[in-house]
Amino acid sequence: DVKVTQSSRYLVKRTGEKVFLECVQDMDHENMFWYRQDPGLGLRLIYFSYDVKMKEKGDIPEGYSVSREKKERFSLILESASTNQTSMYLCASRPPSLNTEAFFGQGTRLTVV
């Protein structure tokens, strides 16, 4: 069974901390994505990656960075956490070809206090 695993279900961090959210997929997918989800706003794309060491900004990259050192792992980094980054974070992966499904992790609920 295909799997996308996010390292934490729940996290509580303090303002100003550096936060790492990890995502691992076992499907050998080239493409990986980080979204945040807020009530009434749907999913918004933060960053995505088409290959190892490649990254592209999404719609809301400010305050975030990413790392893709290995194909199966895509990390989201909050350089200095702020309260407005309290959100649900979702990682996804999909193959590079068109008309393929996206597979999601279980989500990380991050609270910044």
Summarize as ranges the residues that interact with other proteins (CB under 8 A). Answer: 4, 6, 33, 40-45, 88, 90, 92, 98-107, 109
Nearer to other proteins, 2 or 52 (CB): 2
At closest approach, how far in Å is the CB of 17 from other proteins?
Answer: 23
- Hey, which bits of 1-113 come out as E strands? 4-6, 10-13, 19-25, 31-38, 42-49, 56-57, 64-70, 73-78, 87-94, 103-104, 108-112
At closest approach, how far in Å is the CB of 20 from other proteins?
Answer: 19
At closest approach, how far in Å is the CB of 85 from other proteins?
Answer: 18
Q: How far apart are CA 94 and CA 23, in angstroms?
A: 13
Nearer to other proteins, 13 or 103 (CB): 103
- DSSP assignment, residue 79? S
Nearer to other proteins, 71 or 103 (CB): 103
